Amino acid sequence: MARSRSSQTRPRSAARGRQANPLPLRWPVPKGCGQVYVDKVHERDKATPETAHLFGSAEPRISTPPLRELTPETSLGFEVIDFAYEVLGVVLLPWQRAALIRMLELNEDGTLRFRTAVVLVARQNGKSTLAQVLTIWLLFVWGWPLVLGTAQDLDVAESLWEEVVDLVESNEELNALKDGVTKVNGKKSLNLTTGAKYKVKAANRRAGRGLSGNLVLLDELREHQTWDAWGAITKTTMARAEALILALSNAGDVTSRVLRYLRLMAHRALGDPDGIAALEDGAGPSEDDLEELLDTDEIDLDEFDDEDATDLELDDLEQDEETLCILEWSAPPGCDKRDRTGWSWANPSRGYTISTKTIAAACNTDPEWVFRTEVLCQWNDGATSGPFAPGAWDATKTPVVIDENGRRRLARPDVDKIVGPVVAGLAQQTGRSKTYIALAGFRPDGLPQVEVVTVSHGSDWASGWLTHKDRRGRIRAVGGQTSGVPEGTVLKKLKADPKFRMPVVEMNGSDLLDAYADADDGIREKRVWHTPWASLDLAAGTAEWKTLAGGARVIDVKESPTDPTALRAWIAAYWLLMHQPVKAPPPPPPARVIDLSGDDSDRGDDVDFTSVHF
């Protein structure tokens, strides 16, 4: 039920340079805006010092500091809190109020300081309520014309949308400003009399095409394993002078590419409080991600306006540190899972909507990393998962260092470099969208090293790349699986091509089983090295085994949570190296520093392969 209010129309602050509110809202600006935050709080907020340890932390453990004191004059959060209480009848929890006040900080000219806010908090703590209240306020009070909600699972985005619609329809005054609700699957929209809308879209490369939004809600950002959705969705805010991308999630893992990147950027800007900069890869978007995003072959141009799609540049996908806000409620690194102080850091709703008994029960019954991720909001770096023994993949990665320019370089350039001839392994993604090539050879110390070196769309480029003059005489053979996989056609065509004179070795049957067994043994026993490559490391940390009759194992492409193609190319190259006669390597060349600043990009077209890596 709507509360009793004055018939006063609520204007916007002229000092902030915005137009008067076009909606005939009848609730006044409370005197001493934000007083509800101080006085009209839930009784349980008033915990005594003796009981305070039973409640969750209102303030985030990791957060972007404000530029000045946060007051009703320097943050819109106070107005949203009052609106929630006075209009919606919602008493926000202390942590929700703190989040709104921090993320809606104003610059001195009255504009929003942040364009991207990342809120990390354990599950079931009330992220949805935070998003609902902010969405309704921005639509009905602040007058933003488009709110776009999205999640990797469309049902999640639609569930949040339905709850907003229910709140609006249950409020007499808000409902009077509703122009209608579109409930058609895939096109759901809450429409206001002003023309403002709240739409929902699936988180994919089509999300938001042709739209220009102000508030973008990205729920469960941890599930974004590619840059497709981020690039499409965030592009919708570029034309808006004022916009906010609100990303909500609990902790991610090695597959959470977008969230890892944003979190790493924010932590670095804060001086790396948890020491993750030396451990996290956090690879940002690459030219390859941009090319895939701009590939409109499968886009219905009648439905999506893509006239300006080709204007998107790599810089547009990258995050500006100055406009990025992180609010992270999480247990600190190294925290014992039974430490109740850690419980309160990660669960700010503890003592309000989440009981200590519930957390204790999960601690006792959940597998450790399930509990740490879901309840303590701690990150699993993938060392306890993937096809290889825990920690073995990282232990066989060539070490790198960060130079004075922030670029990654080989720590041992005189050792971690392939010398002499190499062999190539080739693998192609399901759907034949991309083809990967890995090269294998021996280092000066005689140990094998395998490196993914290039990837590109399709496969027509592979023949020319393998026989290019820069690599002529260096690559002795190419191999890979030819039965039951997409690259089989590519390899068979190469073998049948009279102009392609390089030997093509097929890896099938018992050879295929040997290849996977050799890779597993080589990594576990630390007998083979590899250089950093984002998609390869991701696959090595997440791929699933498939056990065949007789006990042999191969990589399960269908059940692996991320694309394992780079790893399959790596395994093919390693097998070919160890099963084909290769001449002894020549003496090592003089030591030189190798610049690996671009090795996280899944492209190799612009690299001089006569001097880099091998």
CA-to-CA dists, residue 248 to 10, 99, 151, 224, angstroms: 30, 12, 10, 12
- Which pLDDT band, with edges at 50, 70 and 90, does 20 fall under? very low
Q: What is the token pair recorded at 583?
A: 């001449």
The residue-averaged pLDDT of 145-174 equals 85
Closest by Cα among 584, 565, 607 to 441: 584
**What domain range is 430 assigned to?**
392-579
Please say whether the beta carbons of 309 and 205 come within 8 A. no
Residues 139 and 288 in one domain: yes
Residues 164 and 20 in one domain: yes
Residues 365 and 434 in one domain: no
Nearest-angstrom CA–CA distance, 357 and 314: 48
DSSP class of 97: H
Considering only residues 306 and 494, tell me which one the structure prediction assigns the higher pLDDT.
Answer: 494
In a domain, 611, yes or no: no
CATH number at residue 462: 3.30.420.240
Tell me which of 207-211, 276-280, 309-313 is least confident.
Answer: 207-211
Q: What pLDDT does 312 receive? A: 53
116-120 β-sheet, strand order:
62-63, 324-328, 116-120, 244-249, 215-219, 146-151, 197-202, 189-192, 178-182
Please say whether the beta carbons of 256 and 224 come within 8 A. yes
Residues 214 and 243 in one domain: yes
Considering only residues 187 and 490, tell me which one the structure prediction assigns the higher pLDDT.
Answer: 490
- Which pLDDT band, with edges at 50, 70 and 90, does 205 fall under? low
- Give yes or no for residue 469 having a pLDDT over 50: yes
In a domain, 383, yes or no: no
Nearest-angstrom CA–CA distance, 89 and 604: 57
Rounded (5°) CA angle 497-503-509: 100
Give how many domains the chain has, as a whole number. 3
Considering only residues 2 and 479, tell me which one the structure prediction assigns the higher pLDDT.
Answer: 479
Residues 117 and 240 in one domain: yes
Residues 478 and 528 in one domain: yes
Q: What is the token pair recorded at 201?
A: 């879209």
Closest by Cα among 458, 445, 64 to 262: 64
Q: What pLDDT does 96 receive? A: 95
In a domain, 572, yes or no: yes
**Pseudo-torsion of CA 44, 328, 270, 401, nearest 10°?**
150
In a domain, 88, yes or no: yes
- Give yes or no for residue 19 having a pLDDT over 60: no
Considering only residues 593 and 357, tell me which one the structure prediction assigns the higher pLDDT.
Answer: 357
Considering only residues 144 and 293, tell me which one the structure prediction assigns the higher pLDDT.
Answer: 144
For residue 325, what are the contacts with CB-CB under 8 A and spacing of at least 6?
A: 63, 64, 102, 103, 105, 113, 114, 116, 117, 118, 266
Q: What pLDDT does 607 receive? A: 42
CA-to-CA dists, residue 457 to 354, 427, 431, 432, 461, angstroms: 48, 12, 11, 8, 9
Closest by Cα among 360, 335, 277 to 61: 335
Residues 156 and 265 in one domain: yes
- Give yes or no for residue 184 having a pLDDT over 50: yes
- Which pLDDT band, with edges at 50, 70 and 90, does 9 fall under? very low
In a domain, 614, yes or no: no
Residues 210 and 276 in one domain: yes
- Give yes or no for residue 601 having a pLDDT over 70: no
Residues 348 and 420 in one domain: no
Q: What pLDDT does 217 receive? A: 87
Handedness of CA 304, 307, 313, 318 (dihedral sign): negative
User: In degrees rounded to 5, what are phi and psi of residue 198?
Assistant: -125, 110
Residues 126 and 150 in one domain: yes
- Which pLDDT band, with edges at 50, 70 and 90, does 470 fall under? confident
Considering only residues 2 and 362, tell me which one the structure prediction assigns the higher pLDDT.
Answer: 362
Average pLDDT value over all residues in the chain = 78
Q: What pLDDT does 53 receive? A: 64
Closest by Cα among 427, 394, 379, 418 to 567: 427
Q: What pLDDT does 3 receive? A: 35
- State pLDDT tens for residues 98-151: 999 999 999 999 999 999 999 999 999 999 999 999 999 999 999 898 888 887
Which residues make beta-bridge pairs with 476? none
Handedness of CA 600, 603, 609, 614 (dihedral sign): positive
Q: What pLDDT does 402 receive? A: 64
Residues 36 and 143 in one domain: yes
Residues 323 and 346 in one domain: no
Tell me which of 8-17, 293-302, 347-356, 557-566 is least confident.
Answer: 8-17
The residue length of the chain stands at 614
Burial class (CB in 10 A: 0-12, 13-18, 19+), 39: exposed
Closest by Cα among 519, 529, 580, 527 to 555: 519
The Cβ-side half-sphere exposure at 226, using a 13 Å CA radius, reads 18
Which residues make beta-bridge pairs with 248? 119, 219
Q: What pLDDT does 79 receive? A: 94
In a domain, 226, yes or no: yes
Tell me which of 35-44, 84-93, 160-169 is least confident.
Answer: 35-44
Q: What pLDDT does 132 receive? A: 93
- Which pLDDT band, with edges at 50, 70 and 90, does 433 fall under? confident
In a domain, 591, yes or no: no
CATH number at residue 315: 3.40.50
- State pLDDT tens for residues 208-260: 444 456 888 888 888 877 777 776 666 656 667 688 999 999 998 777 878 88
